[in-house]
Amino acid sequence: MAGARPAAGEQASPPRKIPRLIPPDGPLSLDEHLARYGAIPFSAALPSRDGGIPALIAAVERSGLTGRGGAGFPAGRKMRAVAQAGGHAGPFGSAVGTVVLANGAESEPASGKDRLLLARAPHLVLDGIALAAEAVGATRAYLCVHSGGGAPEPQLREAITLRERAGLNRVPIQVIDVPGGYVASQETAVISFLNGGPALPAFVPPRPSRKGAHRRPTLVQNVETLAHVALIARYGAAWFREMGTAQAAGTALVTVGGAIRRPGTYEIALGTPVGDLVQRAGGPAEPVQAILAGGYFGGWLPFPAAQRLALSDDGLRPAGAALGPGVLVLLPESACGLAETARVTSYLASQSAGQCGPCSNGLPALADAIAHIAYGQPAGEALRWTEHLMALVTGRGACHLPDGTAAIVASALRVFASDLRRHAEHGPCARIRRAPVVPAPADPHEAS
Amino acid sequence: MNRGQASTPGQTGTPGQTGTRGQTPGQTPGPAPRQRRGERPILQVNPIACEAHGLCIELLPEMISADPWGYPIIAPGPVPDELLSLAQRAVTACPTLALLLTRPQ
């Protein structure tokens, strides 16, 4: 309840419980949106009177908001870096026009939260883009979506036009349709695409916050992160921290799938036990043996032991998983975890952009190795070779595709260790014939 | 903030530090030290640029080995002083300019 709440939100009382992000009564029109949340507090995004960093950036830093795209980098620190790289709030005002890139391309096959957010709360995201743009001294902004993945592209353009007419967009926001593919929505890939190149990851440095789109300092934030920024600008950092934990503040959208009664996207206070979310989603649809947490850069967790774990990166990391972009997939006992992992691994290998040798050679080899473990009769050397490959690819790509692939295989070997022994003794189990549970698009070009 | 004995030039303060406490006011004119503490040079490969020509593996076997596909694996950690000139030679020899000698921030 600390006092520094921007006055612009006076007609709206801040939401005290979940949901914060997605209105339960469907998408709001622009007028309804402004009536519910209050006017956009642009004044908070201006450089402070003494020429220092805008109050909004300081508020985002205090809020503890982290990126909701998967990597979980502190959002305020990124905003500060871009504002400073652009010379914003420096002695000459904004020396270099920066760029804001809102990433809603969502290439994680098991995730649907960005699409849902853009469809149900587009104005919150657009508020966040406008405010972030003001705060970092941007002269243009992009909203990147993947239309093939079901992003509501025409509605977004319409919403932007409406806001332009209402004078709410101080910098132009352009909707960009980025190609599908697992690595295409990685931040440097989106920037390469914006700069006229292929949608492929690039080597850093330079970091996008120094030199990104149009060779300008670029703030890349996930669309959910920006929606939180829009709320922090109105209600303050202390309000944001009313939910979540000290280490993992606020709420997050989590997509729950697999053997669950009511699959879909849920907003949770970070730190909520896994079991609570499973219950909210109707409970398991059939007996469950494991959970894939964090999507394909996360890891497997044994069930029901995982129910006690807190849904946050720091709650799940010690157990070998992560919250990542907010994905939970429940694996039923009727499925083979090794076969599921083999399919995911071969999907991820197919998504290698082919730019880095250790990835383009190592991931197919790793996919073959885990396929042999799942579908063959793995001897000890198969396991050793798999582990060797995991170590070989980790940290050796321009993006984290090899690291993520190795991590999910590592967690599978740990969580499905008893299956591994059974496969080694008796050959593959009958469960490998079950229909796939974890989504892994067969055709890379259809990947969303 | 505790810098201990400021005996080596590598351990002076950060550039933004203002001497409000009046200790050693006139100490750091002249060029900034090239290398501050914790900024020892490291070898890095740009994996996109690297085409596994393998020259670096030949020129700096102390720190670089080949993976099963011929791509370089760099030993972790900073480059020891006695290997610095050899590392520099390997960097210069790389036909795709993929090997980098950098100082982490």
What is the CATH code for A7-240? Answer: 3.40.50.11540
Fold category of A337-446 in CATH:
de novo design (two linked rop proteins) (1.20.1440)
Output the pLDDT for position A442: 67
Residue range(s) in chain A whose domain bears CATH number 1.20.1440.230 = 337-446
In chain B, the largest separation of any two C-alpha atoms, in whole Å, equals 58
**Cross-chain Cβ contact A357/B46 below 8 Å:** no
Strand stretches in A169-326, DSSP E: 173-177, 218-222, 251-258, 264-269, 288-293, 299-302
Which candidate from B47, B68, B70 shows the least CB-CB separation from A396?
A: B47
**pLDDT surpasses 70 at B32:** no
Instruction: Please report which confidence band the pLDDT of residue B38 belongs to, taking 50, 70 and 90 as the band edges.
Output: low
Residues A244 and A13: beta-carbon distance below 8 Å: no
Fold category of B42-102 in CATH:
Alpha-Beta Plaits (3.30.70)
Instruction: Please report which confidence band the pLDDT of residue B24 belongs to, taking 50, 70 and 90 as the band edges.
Output: very low
Average pLDDT over residues A157-178: 93
**pLDDT surpasses 80 at A196:** yes
Output the pLDDT for position A5: 41
Cβ-Cβ contacts under 8 Å for A431 (sequence gap 6 or more): A334, A335, A336, A339
**Cross-chain Cβ contact A203/B70 below 8 Å:** no
Q: Which of A186, A192, A361 to mutate to test the interface with B (most CBs of B within 10 A)?
A: A361
**pLDDT surpasses 50 at B80:** yes
> CA dist A17 to A14, A20, A120, A267, Å?
9, 7, 18, 10
Cβ-Cβ contacts under 8 Å for A62 (sequence gap 6 or more): A76, A237
Q: How many CB pairs under 8 A join A and B?
A: 39
End-to-end CA separation in angstroms for chain A: 41
Alpha helices in chain B (DSSP H): 55-59, 84-93
Q: What percent of chain B is predicted at pLDDT more than 70? A: 63
Nearest CA in chain B to A360: B69
Instruction: Please report which confidence band the pLDDT of residue A260 belongs to, taking 50, 70 and 90 as the band edges.
Output: very high
Range with top average pLDDT, A99-103, A150-154, A320-324, B3-7? A99-103
Domain ranges of chain B: 42-102
Fold category of A251-332 in CATH:
Ubiquitin-like (UB roll) (3.10.20)
The answer to which of A287-291, A395-399, B6-10 has the lowest mean pLDDT is: B6-10
Output the pLDDT for position A95: 64
Q: Look over chain A and give the mean of its residue pLDDT values, rounded to a whole number.
A: 90
- Amino acid, single-letter form, for residue B46: N
Residues of A in Cβ contact (< 8 Å) with B46: 203, 398
Distance CA A121, CA A116 (A): 8
As given in the structure block, the two tokens for residue A399 are 């993006």
A307 touching B (Cβ < 8 Å): no
What is the ipTM score, two decimals? 0.83
Higher-confidence residue of A125 and B105: namely: A125
Residue range(s) in chain A whose domain bears CATH number 3.10.20.600 = 251-332
Closest chain A C-alpha to B48 CA, distance in angstroms: 5
Range with top average pLDDT, A25-39, A43-57, A223-237, A416-430? A223-237
Q: What percent of chain A is predicted at pLDDT more than 70? A: 94
Nearest CA in chain B to A203: B46
